Structures are given as C-alpha cells and as structure tokens.
C-alpha cells in the first residue's frame, strides 16, 4: 500500500469536492472516484504515515463490527438494526458560546466544505483495532463557521435520541444516560487530523457507522468519536462525557491512546488488529497516540498523561 507522509503530500493531491449540495449528490459524484482510489491503493490526503503492515481492514468488517449502543450492546447489533433509523432530514442544534447558533440542516452545514479522503488507524479501548479509509471534512472548518467566542474552550457533541428507531435506547436495562455525549478541547478539535466523517470506503456513511456524520479523532480511543451527531455546543467548561460519567475510574475525558496506561481490567500495551482469529490473533504493540505522536503530542505538553487519561 502506498502511503505518503504529510510533508510529501502536495496540495494538488488533496481530494476535494466543494460543489456538493447534499449527501445524495455527494455520493453520486464520488462513487466512481472511490473505486479508482481504492484500486490504486492510495486514498487521497492521508495526514500521517502508516506502518508497512497497516493494510486496510476489509469493508465488511468495518461496516459490521461496531460499538453503537443505541442499537444494542452486541457488535453485530448495529448492522442488524441501524436501518431502522431515519437520517433524512437531519437537523443539528448549535448552541453555547458562539455567534451563530440555532438549528441547521446537515446539508447546509457541510455545503461548500472541502471533502478529503483519509486513511486512519482506529483503536478501540477494548484493545482491538482497524485501518479505515474515511471520507470527510475538517472538523475545524465545520466549527469555525459558527464563529465560536473567545470564551469557548471546549466543544460538546451529542448523538441522536430516538428510541422508536434506536432499540438500544428502549432496552429494559440501560447503562448509558442518553444522549451519548462526548467532547474535545477546542485546540484538539482544530487539529488537522480531526475530521467529521461523511463516508467510508468511498461510499456514504452507513447508519451502523454513524450516518449521516460522525466525529473521527484518530489519536484517541474510539469511544471519543461520537456517531450520528445532532448537537454541537461550545462551552467554557469541560463537558461530561458519557463513559466517564458511567465509569470514571475506567474512562477519562482525554482518552488518548497510551500503551503505558492500562485499563483497570486489561492491558493497553498491545492490540488485536482485525481481521484476526484464534489461530491468527494478529496482535501488535500499541503505539503512543495510536501512532500519531509526531502530529499531536505537543497538544499535551506538560500534562501528566496517566492522570489526564
């Protein structure tokens, strides 16, 4: 697989589509390009070099092995039940410390933004991992159009709550207090690696992967990358994130991939790269910041990463 380091990627090589007006047009325009890029083994603007053995995880695994508790706690529940969720129309509420707030149509938010293809490692806190070709827009570009005020230090995201279509939300026993909520420091959100994913494998994002858009922050554990976002709030205070509220001794706010800090119930020193099996566990050492340390470590200069986990 041919992967270029950031310093070797020319601006002309960045996949861009500024004229799309909505998801349907976007998919129609990009479907042919997606197949060609995948066949060539190069997906546009990959922001950080991958390891030589970082082969793409097969599409059928990426789209069928998911944590999306809104549809159930099993890995196969999202692909089985997520079709019950309607994503059209899709409205996003923007609130808090910003000059432009209110309710916005998803299509209006992403209209005119540059669409790029990124291959990112994806590391779950459960110690399995994938390599995924995402298609999306820079999170910074999404957020800055709402003109955050200088008082805004964090940004909070919330997932859709619709029990009639998300059967995990109407389960008898609930572990999460819906809506699923996550957040980032604003400087993290503005980092070039952070994107809002609109697609995967050159196709529109399927429901089970967080349609119509989801956060993707590749240097953090996967639970930070909240799916099916309907709320964006700018705030001075650090948001409470769902898993931290549920089990603060196990899941921190930052959730940076750190092989030196174990989960209380398992080591994070290694990971199981999918696909894997009993006879081929495909285990490998976990890299600090999921392999993106050169790009993002400066964001946490001077911080105790064992305390701010």
Tens of pLDDT, residues 129-171: 999 999 999 999 999 999 999 999 999 999 999 999 999 999 9
Residue 79's nearest CA partner among 242, 171, 211 is 211
For residue 86, what are the contacts with CB-CB under 8 A and spacing of at least 6? 165
Rounded to a whole number of angstroms, the distance between the first and last alpha carbons of the chain is 33
CATH fold, domain 10-300, is Sulfite Oxidase; Chain A, domain 2 (3.90.420)
- Start-end of H helices in the chain: 23-40, 59-62, 77-81, 106-110, 139-144, 186-189, 242-246, 293-296
Residues 6+ apart with CB under 8 A from 79: 63, 64, 66, 206, 208
Q: By the 8 A CB rule, do 54 and 60 touch? A: no
Confidence of residue 33 (pLDDT cuts 50, 70, 90): very low
Sequence ranges of the domains in the chain: 10-300
In the 8-state DSSP scheme, what is residue 102? Answer: E
pLDDT (tens digit, 9 = 90+) per residue, 230-287?
Answer: 999 999 999 999 999 999 999 999 999 999 999 999 999 999 999 999 999 999 999 9
What ranges make up the beta strands (E) of 201-301? Answer: 203-204, 214-216, 229-235, 270-273, 283-285
Name the 3-class secondary structure at 307.
Answer: coil
pTM of the model: 0.86
**Token reading at 303:** 């911080």
């Amino acid at each position: 697989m041919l992967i270029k380091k950031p310093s070797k990627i020319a601006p002309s090589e960045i996949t861009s589509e500024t004229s799309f007006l909505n998801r349907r047009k976007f998919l129609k325009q990009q479907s042919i390009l997606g197949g060609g890029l995948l066949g060539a083994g190069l997906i546009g603007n990959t922001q950080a070099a991958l390891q030589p053995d970082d082969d793409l995880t097969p599409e059928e695994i990426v789209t069928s092995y998911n944590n999306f508790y809104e549809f159930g706690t099993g890995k196969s529940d999202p692909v089985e039940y997520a079709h019950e969720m309607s994503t059209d129309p899709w409205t996003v509420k923007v609130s808090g410390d910003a000059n432009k707030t209110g309710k916005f149509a998803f299509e209006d938010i992403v209209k005119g933004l540059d669409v790029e293809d990124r291959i990112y490692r994806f590391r779950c806190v459960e110690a399995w991992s994938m390599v995924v070709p995402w298609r999306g827009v820079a999170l910074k570009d999404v957020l800055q159009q709402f003109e955050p005020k200088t008082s805004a230090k964090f940004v909070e995201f919330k997932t859709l709550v619709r029990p009639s279509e998300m059967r995990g939300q109407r389960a008898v026993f609930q572990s999460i207090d819906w809506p699923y909520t996550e957040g980032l420091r604003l400087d993290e959100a503005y980092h070039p690696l952070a994107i809002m994913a609109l697609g995967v494998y050159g196709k529109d994002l399927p429901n089970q992967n967080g349609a119509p858009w989801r956060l993707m922050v590749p240097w953090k554990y996967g639970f930070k990358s909240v799916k099916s976002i309907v709320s964006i709030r700018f705030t001075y205070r650090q948001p409470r994130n769902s898993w931290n509220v549920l089990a603060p001794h196990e899941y921190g706010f930052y959730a940076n991939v750190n092989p030196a800090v174990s989960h209380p119930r398992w080591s994070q020193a290694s990971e199981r790269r999918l696909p894997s099996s009993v006879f081929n566990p495909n285990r490998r050492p976990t890299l600090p910041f999921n392999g993106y340390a050169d790009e993002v470590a400066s964001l946490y200069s001077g911080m105790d990463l064992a305390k701010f986990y």
